[in-house]
């Protein structure tokens, strides 16, 4: 899709028509789609407002999606403001050509223009509104029509290369490649040709033969050369060593200003190092967290961009294509901050995910002694229709219904859970930054303990069984769930606030919560609420609404914990939530004893309540 843009009178239509004549590419004039009302307004010299333009822009944006499917198409459209252009870019990949000229040149052209509704008096207001894009090819108004046409045609023809390169044809890489190809983007894909992955590229191309805009490679040099410069190369490979190896392999073929986007679950500290290293050779390395799994990659994910702003502006339209819309009609992607911030925020996303999953698992451990799988599914379904609704609750209710022949599949799955590291890194990060993220530690430890299967089996044999107490009230359970989810989100966002401040990222919590309302694994009604709450207050522990909710359901959680203890059911994440709450609500804590002990054996100083806040004391405790 080609858009020739510029203020009225810059010659967009003449140029577009001429290119169409020379190439046969269809031409459209955006002015033809203005309503009668808009045209009348403009011809009487009244500038259009954003809301006047709204319907016009929306209908053009829909048309762009259909036109671009049919091949190269030219549109002449003023596209004065970035937000208008963003609307178009959401639909397809666009080549922008900007016509620029001085006020005087334009004025003369407008005055001499015949048969057009635009009143030349409006030129000043158009120039005021115009926000020159940081991308696209600029053409001088004074250049001849022939020369301008030739420049555009040769630019388009030379760009038969791919717009994006994707490395790694695993579940996510395949999904993203298809998602983009479907939207008309030309994509190059690469997968290494190892013994196990010998036919990955061929198989992928064969099974998607109807996409003519995907080209596959198993040689990295050819792959890199097939992508237009500055290149945008997306890594969809395993985090850790494979990323460094790939960077080493690809580096010799890259050119300054190329962009590498790492969308694996990489450790943000690695991303920071890689970004710094590649900056030295003028390559932008971006850490872009993606959540949503296989479905998200194919149909719209939640995307957390971390890296240079200039790299963001170059790939923002691709991020838009890979997103879904959140409630306010914005795409579920955001610029988080520089270097490792995108991967850091994705890591915290995953730690919230671990806890959300663990809380549902602990509910399962409570109810499974008195409910069958169907009943559990129904209970989760009921909750999912109310204020606790979430993607994870929804998939869990479906899991309890899945059968394998005559049995429930859940009963056949071995009770050992894995992890790929993000939860551990979150715990480490929290500890390193002095952030009490107790719930993520409880959730990751529950996974570790699940792996002690043989010892669990043997100790369970000698476990004295307790007499079952009464069944727990399901309302108590739901309230406890609500309480603990709140603490989980409080801890997660608190950690983002603290770490991002110390790293200079100053992440926008409301924007992060917004991006997490769609496409990602932790999307929920609670997240919708938080994205609004964060627009007003940044500290959930100072928010009266949240505190009231916690106070109201505190008693339920205390009942649940004593029920679980009496019935010997481990619910460490629920307990962590409760203990965190008790601790932060404690006025006179017992840390005075800790300080005294530290001073006793290690001569570490302490402060006194009856003295100044900077005066350090040490005591010889053995002195009589």
Which residues carry out catalysis?
346, 353
Distances in whole angstroms, Cα of residue 260 to Cα of each of 34, 43, 321, 334, 589: 40, 48, 18, 18, 50
**Of residues 175 and 216, the one with the C-beta less far from ligand 6PG:** 175
Question: In the β-sheet with 164-167, what is the strand arrangement from edge to edge?
Answer: 214-217, 187-190, 164-167, 232-235, 259-262, 284-291, 302-306, 333-337
Which position among 38, 68, 263, 265 is part of the footprint of ligand 6PG (CB under 6 A)? Answer: 265
Q: Which stretch binds ligand 6PG (CB under 6 A): 19-27, 62-70, 76-84, 291-299?
A: 291-299
DSSP for residue 360: H
**Closest distance to ligand 6PG from the beta carbon of 349 (Å):** 6
Show the site string, 308-347: x = touches ligand 6PG by CB under 6 A, - = not: ----------------------------------------
- The verdict on 520 binding ligand 6PG (CB under 6 A) reads yes
Strands 302-306 and 284-291: antiparallel
- The verdict on 422 binding ligand 6PG (CB under 6 A) reads yes
- The verdict on 293 binding ligand 6PG (CB under 6 A) reads yes
Contact 421, 447 (CB under 8 A): no
- The verdict on 437 binding ligand 6PG (CB under 6 A) reads no
**Closest distance to ligand 6PG from the beta carbon of 442 (Å):** 15
Residues contacting residue 540 through CB under 8 Å, at least 6 positions apart: 486, 489, 490, 493, 494, 530, 533, 546
Which position among 173, 216, 287, 292 is part of the footprint of ligand 6PG (CB under 6 A)? Answer: 292
**Of residues 15 and 443, the one with the C-beta less far from ligand 6PG:** 443
- The verdict on 521 binding ligand 6PG (CB under 6 A) reads yes
**Closest distance to ligand 6PG from the beta carbon of 153 (Å):** 43
| Interaction residues for ligand 6PG, span 342-381 (CB under 6 A) | 350, 353
**Of residues 507 and 521, the one with the C-beta less far from ligand 6PG:** 521
DSSP for residue 219: S
Contact 24, 144 (CB under 8 A): no
**Closest distance to ligand 6PG from the beta carbon of 448 (Å):** 12
Please measure the distance between the N-terminal and C-terminal CA atoms of the chain and give it in whole angstroms. 88
**Closest distance to ligand 6PG from the beta carbon of 418 (Å):** 6
Contact 41, 48 (CB under 8 A): yes
Q: Which stretch binds ligand 6PG (CB under 6 A): 2-10, 67-75, 322-330, 420-428?
A: 420-428
**Closest distance to ligand 6PG from the beta carbon of 297 (Å):** 9
Compute the distance between CA of residue 345 and CA of residue 50 in angstroms, rounded to an integer. 34
CA-wise closest residue to 30 among 47, 49, 13, 7: 13
Q: Which stretch binds ligand 6PG (CB under 6 A): 186-194, 238-246, 279-287, 419-427?
A: 419-427
- The verdict on 291 binding ligand 6PG (CB under 6 A) reads yes
Distances in whole angstroms, Cα of residue 285 to Cα of each of 50, 330, 499, 506, 533: 36, 25, 21, 20, 33
Show the site string, 441-480: x = touches ligand 6PG by CB under 6 A, - = not: ----------------------------------------
**Of residues 69 and 294, the one with the C-beta less far from ligand 6PG:** 294
Q: Which stretch binds ligand 6PG (CB under 6 A): 209-217, 233-241, 290-298, 589-597?
A: 290-298
- The verdict on 262 binding ligand 6PG (CB under 6 A) reads no
- The verdict on 120 binding ligand 6PG (CB under 6 A) reads no
**Closest distance to ligand 6PG from the beta carbon of 357 (Å):** 8
Strands 74-76 and 27-29: parallel
Instruction: Show the DSSP H helices in 208-284 as ranges.
Output: 220-225, 241-250, 268-279
Q: Which stretch binds ligand 6PG (CB under 6 A): 205-213, 242-250, 266-274, 413-421?
A: 413-421
Contact 135, 87 (CB under 8 A): no
The tokens for 5 are 């843009």
Which position among 248, 418, 542, 587 is part of the footprint of ligand 6PG (CB under 6 A)? Answer: 418
- The verdict on 304 binding ligand 6PG (CB under 6 A) reads no
- The verdict on 576 binding ligand 6PG (CB under 6 A) reads no
**Of residues 13 and 266, the one with the C-beta less far from ligand 6PG:** 266
* CA atoms 275, 276, 278, 282: torsion sign: positive
Residues contacting residue 311 through CB under 8 Å, at least 6 positions apart: 259, 284, 286
Q: Which stretch binds ligand 6PG (CB under 6 A): 194-202, 414-422, 457-465, 569-577?
A: 414-422
- The verdict on 492 binding ligand 6PG (CB under 6 A) reads no
| Residue with the shortest CB distance to ligand 6PG | 291
**Closest distance to ligand 6PG from the beta carbon of 564 (Å):** 24
**Of residues 169 and 444, the one with the C-beta less far from ligand 6PG:** 444
DSSP for residue 98: E
**Closest distance to ligand 6PG from the beta carbon of 406 (Å):** 30
- The secondary element (H helix, E strand) that includes residue 74 is strand 74-76
Count other C-beta atoms under 10 Å from residue 164's C-beta: 24
**Of residues 1 and 355, the one with the C-beta less far from ligand 6PG:** 355
Q: Which stretch binds ligand 6PG (CB under 6 A): 40-48, 161-169, 285-293, 333-341?
A: 285-293
**Of residues 224 and 443, the one with the C-beta less far from ligand 6PG:** 443
| DSSP assignments along 158-184, one per residue | H--SBSEEEE--SHHHHHHHHHHHHTT
Distances in whole angstroms, Cα of residue 609 to Cα of each of 82, 522, 593: 58, 44, 13
Compute the distance between CA of residue 323 and CA of residue 307 in angstroms, rounded to an integer. 18
Residues contacting residue 214 through CB under 8 Å, at least 6 positions apart: 177, 178, 181, 186, 187, 188, 189, 205, 208
Compute the distance between CA of residue 358 and CA of residue 354 in angstroms, rounded to an integer. 6
**Closest distance to ligand 6PG from the beta carbon of 262 (Å):** 13
- The verdict on 248 binding ligand 6PG (CB under 6 A) reads no
Mapping DSSP onto H, E and C, the string for 506-553 reads CCCHHHHHHHCCCCCCCCEHHHHHHHHHHHHCCCHHHCHHHHHHHHHH
**Of residues 2 and 521, the one with the C-beta less far from ligand 6PG:** 521
**Closest distance to ligand 6PG from the beta carbon of 319 (Å):** 16
Interface residue list for ligand 6PG (CB under 6 A):
265, 291-293, 350, 353, 418-420, 422-423, 520-521
């Amino acid at each position: 899709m080609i858009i020739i843009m510029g203020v009225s009178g810059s010659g967009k239509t003449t140029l577009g028509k001429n290119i169409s004549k020379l190439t046969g590419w269809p031409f459209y004039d955006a002015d033809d789609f203005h309503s009668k009302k808009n045209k009348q307004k403009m011809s009487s010299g009244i500038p259009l407002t954003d809301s006047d333009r709204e319907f016009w822009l929306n209908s053009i944006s829909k048309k762009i999606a259909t036109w671009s499917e049919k091949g190269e198409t030219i549109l002449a459209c003023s596209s004065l403001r970035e937000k208008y252009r963003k609307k178009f870019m959401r639909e397809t990949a666009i080549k922008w050509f900007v016509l620029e000229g001085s006020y005087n040149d334009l004025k003369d052209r407008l005055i001499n223009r015949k048969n057009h509704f635009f009143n030349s008096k409006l030129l000043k207001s158009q120039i005021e509104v115009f926000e020159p894009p940081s991308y696209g090819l600029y053409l001088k108004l004074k250049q001849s029509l022939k020369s301008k046409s030739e420049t555009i045609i040769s630019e388009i023809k030379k760009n038969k290369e791919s717009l994006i390169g994707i490395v790694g044809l695993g579940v996510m890489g395949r999904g993203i490649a298809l998602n983009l190809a479907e939207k008309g983007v030309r994509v190059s894909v690469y997968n290494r040709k190892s013994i196990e992955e010998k036919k990955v590229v061929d198989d992928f191309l064969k099974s998607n033969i109807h996409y003519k805009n995907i080209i596959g490679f198993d040689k990295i040099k050819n792959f890199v050369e097939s992508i237009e410069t500055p290149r945008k190369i997306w890594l969809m490979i395993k985090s850790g060593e494979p990323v460094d190896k790939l960077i080493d392999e690809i580096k010799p073929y890259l050119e300054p200003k190329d962009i590498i986007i790492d969308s694996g679950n990489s450790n943000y500290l690695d991303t920071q190092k890689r970004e710094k290293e590649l900056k030295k050779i003028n390559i932008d390395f971006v850490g872009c967290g993606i959540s949503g799994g296989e479905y998200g990659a194919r149909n719209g994910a939640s995307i957390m961009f971390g890296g240079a702003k200039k790299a963001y502006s170059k790939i923002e339209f691709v991020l838009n294509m890979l997103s879904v819309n959140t409630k306010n009609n914005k795409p579920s992607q955001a610029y988080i901050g520089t270097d490792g911030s995108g991967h850091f925020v994705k890591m915290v996303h995953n730690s919230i995910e671990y806890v959300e999953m663990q809380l549902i698992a602990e509910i399962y451990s409570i109810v499974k002694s008195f409910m069958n799988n169907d009943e559990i599914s129904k209970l989760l379904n009921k909750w999912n229709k109310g204020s606790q609704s979430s993607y994870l609750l929804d998939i869990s209710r479906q899991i309890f219904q899945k059968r394998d022949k005559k049995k429930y599949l859940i009963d056949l799955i071995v009770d050992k859970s894995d992890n790929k590291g993000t939860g551990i890194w979150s715990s480490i990060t929290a500890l390193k930054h002095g952030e009490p993220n107790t719930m993520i530690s409880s959730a990751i430890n529950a996974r570790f303990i699940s792996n002690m299967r043989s010892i669990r089996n043997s100790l369970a044999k000698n476990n004295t069984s307790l007499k079952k107490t009464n069944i727990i009230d399901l309302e108590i359970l739901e309230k406890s769930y609500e309480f603990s989810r709140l603490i989980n989100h409080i801890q997660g966002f608190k950690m983002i606030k603290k770490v991002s401040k110390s790293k200079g990222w100053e992440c926008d919590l409301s924007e992060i919560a917004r991006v997490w309302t769609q496409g990602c694994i932790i999307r929920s009604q609670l997240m919708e609420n938080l994205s609004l709450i964060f627009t007003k207050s940044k500290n959930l522990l100072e928010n009266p609404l949240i505190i009231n909710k916690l106070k109201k359901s505190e008693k339920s959680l205390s009942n649940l914990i004593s029920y679980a203890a009496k019935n010997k059911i481990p619910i460490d994440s629920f307990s962590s939530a409760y203990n965190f709450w008790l601790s932060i609500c404690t006025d006179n804590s017992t840390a005075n004893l800790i300080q005294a002990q530290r001073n006793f054996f290690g001569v570490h100083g302490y402060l006194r309540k009856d003295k100044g806040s900077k005066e350090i004391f040490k005591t010889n405790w053995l002195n009589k």
